[in-house]
Amino acid sequence: MKVSNKIISGFLVAMLLAIAVLANQLRVVHQMQNVNRVISDVDMNAARTALDMQKIADDITEDSKKYFAGLDDIYEQKLVEHRSDFLVAIAQLDKAALNDSERAAITKLREAVDGYWAAFNRLKEQNRTWDPDDLPPDLTIPLSHLRPESDAAYDAVKDAMKEQVAAAADTGNKAERISWIAGVVSVLLGVFVLGVIVRSITDPLRRLTQGTKAISKGQFWHRIPAHGKDEFAELARDFNAMTEKLGELDKMKRDFVSHVSHDLKAPLASIRQIMHLLLEQIPGPLNQQQQDLIRLSYNGAERLAAMVGNLLDVSRMEAGSMEYQMSANDVIALIKSVTDEFDIQAREKGIRLQLECVEPAVFAECDRDRIIQVVGNLYENALKFSPPDAAIVTRVGRVKNEIVISVSDSGPGVPDGHKERIFHKFHQVKHGKKVAGQGVGLGLAICKTIVEAHHGQIWVEDNPNGGSIFSFALRPAVSEEILKCGQSA
């Protein structure tokens, strides 16, 4: 699914959730309106009717006494009207009844009215007057039932109204709970849908970012999963195609550098050998000017040979064919051999080479030639950038379970923004004009690869007295104590 379709789908899901919640609220509001209408229209009318029936029952009792007191036809007519009103009211109540108890009360009230009217007609046939306070029991008993039954009907109507109110309250509570549940479910579902959409977008972006970082580090074999048919999958396929071509170009570059470096190595060796023979004056004597010119050429050939050697080392490292012969070696002895090698060059610039270590011998598990190469590269950098009459101090110490070798100089130092990148290939820190013999920026990259192959680390920090301190850590030799004892013996 395309990204635009995912966003549209998420928006539609959110709209559907909102519409569902709104529809539920409208349904609840409609239910509450129906309940209110029933209470206001039906129940209130029934209550008024029940109250009217109580009054009619009282009127029937009074008019019955008056009728039998004088047998007046006017009161008889009123009683007929009262009975008719009573029956109409009972019919209305029966029609509006909401529960069985209300219907049972109305039925008893109708029976009481019928019983009264039958007793009234029987007593009327006797055609005699009666004392209002001394009516026969046949009439007083039905009359005494009218008001209580009317009150019972009224109470039944009130109870039905209370039930309606309670039902309305219960409906409101249920509606509130349903609304909360629907709201929470909608929010959770919305968050879930949003999370799925965001993840479907951020995951490919994160993989693309990781792939970009890998390519920036030269890992051209890195590939991004390209499943699906959306824009990210298409971008991943294009990225993989680009990476494949970059890998091919990088391989061509490495092969070219390796072949050229290898082809240059033999003629350079011949040139150096010939110049060395000339400086030794084996073919014949040379004047001072000729010696100086040949020495300059010889030094240039030496630098070119070092660059070619570095290029070959980088090619072997990138190809993974660099070999290491690990054994227990005395780091102090290694550093002294490097110091002797650079002693003449340091004295020419008036620079002192100092070695500080509290132990006479420190053994590390390492490849002797490669560690000499690391220390030599650090010395070479320090000699290039240190001013005359300065000192290059090499310290060897132990930090936790590691042997730390540090070389400090008094040069211009390394800015904070370059302290990590300075160990990358071809990276150089510009300090004004280019220093003669500065190189192409492979020495520290080679040092980093060699140290990491020894399961160590290399770093640079500022020298408090000015300049930089390059340090690297090695693992101590397993048989160090045995070697110390053998050396003492």
- Percent of the chain at pLDDT exceeding 70: 81
CA distance 55 to 145: 14
For the chain, domains (ranges, CATH) are: 3-195 (1.20.120.1730), 245-318 (1.10.287.130), 324-488 (3.30.565.10)
Question: Model confidence over 93-140: pLDDT tens digits?
Answer: 787 777 788 788 888 878 888 888 888 888 888 887 878 777 778 778
CA distance 427 to 422: 6
Write down the pLDDT at residue 482: 47
Region 235-242: mean pLDDT is 84
SS (H, E, C) 363-397: EEEECHHHHHHHHHHHHHHHHHHCCCCCEEEEEEE
SS3 388: coil
Amino acid at 468: S
**Does pLDDT of 485 surpass 80?**
no
Q: Note whether 148 and 118 are within 8 A (CB).
A: no
pTM: 0.47
Q: Which residues contact 164 (CB under 8 A, 6 or more apart)?
A: 35, 38, 39, 43, 98
Look at the chain and count its residues.
489
**Does pLDDT of 408 surpass 50?**
yes
Q: Which residues contact 363 (CB under 8 A, 6 or more apart)?
A: 328, 329, 330, 331, 476, 477, 479, 480, 483, 484
Confidence label for 489 from pLDDT (cuts 50, 70 and 90): very low
Lowest-pLDDT range, 43-57, 93-107, 370-384?
43-57
Write down the mean pLDDT value for the chain.
Answer: 78
Write down the pLDDT at residue 459: 92
CA distance 243 to 221: 7
Question: Model confidence over 61-102: pLDDT tens digits?
Answer: 888 888 888 888 888 888 888 888 878 888 887 877 777 887
CA distance 269 to 274: 9
211 φ, ψ (degrees, to nearest 5): -65, -40
pLDDT top residue among 250 and 365: 365
CA distance 339 to 233: 57
Region 411-417: mean pLDDT is 85
Question: Model confidence over 295-347: pLDDT tens digits?
Answer: 778 677 766 766 666 666 666 666 666 778 889 999 999 999 999 888 888 88
| DSSP line for 186-227 | HHHHHHHHHHHHHHHHHHHHHHHHHHHHHHHTT-TT------
**Does pLDDT of 437 surpass 70?**
no
Q: Note whether 224 and 208 are within 8 A (CB).
A: yes
pLDDT top residue among 420 and 10: 420
pLDDT top residue among 92 and 42: 92
Residue the block writes with tokens 């479910």? 185
Residue 403: beta bridge partners? Answer: 398, 474
pLDDT top residue among 48 and 434: 48
Q: Note whether 413 and 381 are within 8 A (CB).
A: no
Q: At what angle do helices 231-279 and 137-216 cross, to 10 degrees?
A: 20
